[in-house]
Structure 1
Amino acid sequence: MAQNKILILFAHPLFEKSFVNEALVRHIPKSKNITFHDLYEEYPEFDIDVKREQALLQKHDIIIWHHPLYWYSCPPLLKQWIDMVLEYDWAYGKNGIALQNKLIFQAITTGGKKENYCEAGRDRYSIPELLEPFNQTAKVCHMHYLPPFVIHGTHQMNESEADNYGKIYADLLLYLKSNELDLKEMNSHFYLNEWFHSKSKNHG
């Protein structure tokens, strides 16, 4: 079976201060089918090379927006990337079918606990509700938007727990790379974490 090619678009303006994201990135498997692309490293002046980014997207089957949750959204460079790279008549519009049927989801870290993200909680909305603009962006670009992979409670986490999440992320990436994916089954879960946990249990 052909391998899925994965592009991780990583956006963290304070990466050096996030040991949780450091653990996630450190565990990303070395594979010719997994591309790690650090936007703040590549574009410190926010001067995004649109054609280069579009060429990268076209070479991959699964796109991951990997970022911390910043004020219920993404860091500014990733927002600029979305604004500039997803051009009319390329990603959307009458002739914009360059990204058609590609899979996309978000890998997110947040200091808040999961129970805070609900109608009765401090943050009032669930993570998927807060991510609806990204979901709609993907849909307008004819992509399949999947539930997010979310790591809650990073402010209370120790390095051992962060390392464990790094291993789960690595296993998830390897599974996505090597397997045929049932989108209906994936979309029936609230978080991708839960879907992958069920797959891991079934596979021993």
Structure 2
Amino acid sequence: MSNKKLLILFFHPRFEDSRVNARLVEGVKQLRDITFRDMYELYPDFNINVEFEQAQLLAHDIVIWHHPFYWYNCPPLMKQWLDLVLEYGWAYGKNGNKLSGKWAMNVISSGGNFNVYQKEGRNRFTHREFLNSFDQTAHLCQMEYLPPFIVPGANKLSASEIEDYMIRYTQIVHFLMNEQIDIEKLKLVENFNQLNADQWEHQFYKMQ
């Protein structure tokens, strides 16, 4: 069976100031058989080429929205991309089934740690709960929404901690592309941070 084709759409308006994302991007850009696109570099004027973006989605099986977690949401260019590219009659609605069966997930860097993203914490909701709008977007487009991967407390991480998150990110990409995954089982997980990379194959490998 051939590998799945994976597209990483990276949205960061201040990429030059982000130690964490610089290392994450450096790691995944070296991987084979993925397509990485720095969207703020490509569209500094927000003038998105809708047809080209739709063609990119059609050419890939998995899309990763990689972005900082701004005000419990995404940067403005990503919102613009969602609004324009996922058109009615193409991605959803009547005859809108072009993305049916594809997978989507968020990879986010967050200023807050997990302890502030919980019911009893300052932000009252988990990261996963705040990402429900992306889950619903994927659902409306007949896509499978995967557990997010979160880099919490991003502004305070040491170089070694950042390296660990980069390694984990590349492991996730390899896992998604190469394994026969039981998607229904995987969707029950809160986030990829909870998974032990050494056990992924045993927990989520689809038996033949």
TM-score, normalised relative to structure 2: 0.93
Question: How far does residue 30 in structure 1 lie from its aligned partner after superposition?
Answer: 3.5
State how 1:26-65 maps to structure 2 within 5 Å.
Answer: 26-28=26-28, 30-65=30-65
Per-residue displacement from partner, 1:7-48 (whole Å, max 9, x unpaired)? 001000011111100110011153552100111010000000
Whole-angstrom distance in 2 between the partners of 1:85 and 1:202: 37
Residue in 2 aligned with 1:191? 191
State how 1:146-165 maps to structure 2 within 5 Å.
Answer: 146-165=146-165
Mapped contact 1:20–1:162 kept (Cα < 8 A): yes
Whole-angstrom distance in 2 between the partners of 1:101 and 1:120: 36
Whole-angstrom distance in 1 between the partners of 2:99 and 2:140: 10
Whole-angstrom distance in 1 between the partners of 2:29 and 2:175: 11
Question: How far does residue 51 in structure 1 lie from its aligned partner after superposition?
Answer: 0.2
Question: How far does residue 193 in structure 1 lie from its aligned partner after superposition?
Answer: 2.5
Whole-angstrom distance in 1 between the partners of 2:87 and 2:36: 22
State the number of aligned residues. 203
Per-residue displacement from partner, 1:22-81 (whole Å, max 9, x unpaired)? 110011153552100111010000000000000000000011000010000000000000
> Which consecutive residues of structure 2, in runs of 5 or more, have no partner in the other structure?
204-208
Whole-angstrom distance in 2 between the partners of 1:162 and 1:41: 23
Q: For residue 49 of structure 2, what is the amino acid of its counterpart?
A: D
Mapped contact 1:33–1:177 kept (Cα < 8 A): no
Per-residue displacement from partner, 1:168-197 (whole Å, max 9, x unpaired)? 111111121111111122112110222353
Residue in 2 aligned with 1:68? 68
Q: Which moved more, 1:27-36 or 1:185-194?
A: 27-36
Mapped contact 1:8–1:63 kept (Cα < 8 A): yes
Whole-angstrom distance in 2 between the partners of 1:31 and 1:98: 27
SS at match of 2:28: coil
Per-residue displacement from partner, 1:145-175 (whole Å, max 9, x unpaired)? 1111111011210122111211111111112
Residues 13 and 196 of structure 1, relative CA distance in 2, 3 Å threshold: farther
TM-score, normalised relative to structure 1: 0.95
Whole-angstrom distance in 1 between the partners of 2:16 and 2:31: 24
Whole-angstrom distance in 1 between the partners of 2:196 and 2:139: 23
The alignment's C-alpha RMSD in Å is 1.6
State how 1:16-27 maps to structure 2 within 5 Å.
Answer: 16-27=16-27
SS at match of 1:90: coil
Question: How far does residue 129 in structure 1 lie from its aligned partner after superposition?
Answer: 1.0
Question: How far does residue 198 in structure 1 lie from its aligned partner after superposition?
Answer: 5.7
Identity %: 44
Residues 117 and 198 of structure 1, relative CA distance in 2, 3 Å threshold: farther
Q: For residue 45 of structure 2, what is the amino acid of its counterpart?
A: E
SS at match of 1:108: strand
Residues 79 and 196 of structure 1, relative CA distance in 2, 3 Å threshold: farther
